[in-house]
Amino acid sequence: MVTQGLLPVGKGQAAAGFSVVFAGAAAAGAVGAAGAAFFAAFLAAGFLEPGFFAAAAFFAGAAFFAGAAFFAAAFFAGAAFFAAAFFAGAAFFAAAFFAGAAFLAAAFFAGAAFFAAAFFAGAAFFAAAFFAGAAFLAGAAFFAVAITISLIKLQKTPRHVWQRGDSSPGGLPKSFRSLAVAPVR
């Protein structure tokens, strides 16, 4: 893996881009070599006339410029391929990054909502339990005070002392019995 700039470039991409460049260079070299061999054969045969020289120079220049144009085209094709691969990779990584960020944000907010709901449910349960316990203790305290007051009142009242207006256990008191009822003989 070869790194280039910020994003890595795989071996397949580099090989495809360089093969285009090398193919252009090889074709340019082959055209130049073929042209040189062709014109060297004519020169070796003795055709040294000035017109032939001019034609040979013209064809050699044309072959050189054709090879240079082909090499430039191959270079720009490779550059365009690398640029397209770079921007495609950058777009893919940007999309993957934003998709991951959106997923993590959604997961975070879902977890936060769940924990908030669980917290409020627990708080409501504990508040209800607290108020139920407080109501029970208030009721128990009220009955404890009421029973205590009743017991205090019961202890203060004498057992055998009657107040005016109270009836005796046997009816009228002994001093009033003789006046109210005549003795039966």
Evaluate whether 20 touches 74 at the Cβ level (below 8 Å).
Answer: yes
At residue 13, the pLDDT reads 54
- Please state the domain extents for the chain: 2-120
At residue 67, the pLDDT reads 85
At residue 152, the pLDDT reads 86
At residue 14, the pLDDT reads 53
Tell me, yes or no, if the pTM score tops 0.85.
Answer: no
Does residue 172 sit in helix, strand or coil? coil
At residue 118, the pLDDT reads 96
Evaluate whether 38 touches 60 at the Cβ level (below 8 Å).
Answer: no
At residue 18, the pLDDT reads 58
Tracing tokens 């256990």 back to the chain, one arrives at 169
At residue 143, the pLDDT reads 94
Query: What is the chain's pLDDT, residue by residue, as a tens digit (185 residues)?
Result: 555 555 555 555 555 555 666 666 676 677 667 766 666 666 655 555 666 667 777 777 888 888 888 888 889 998 999 999 999 999 999 999 999 999 999 999 999 999 999 999 999 999 999 999 999 999 999 999 999 998 888 887 666 555 666 555 555 555 655 555 555 65
- Give the DSSP H/E element, type plus range, for residue 49: none
At residue 106, the pLDDT reads 96
For residues 29, 32, 33 and 35, what is the CA-based torsion angle, rounded to 10 degrees?
A: 160
CA angle in degrees (0–180, nearest 5) for 126-131-132: 95
At residue 8, the pLDDT reads 52
- The whole-angstrom separation of Cα 24 and Cα 75 is 8
At residue 161, the pLDDT reads 56
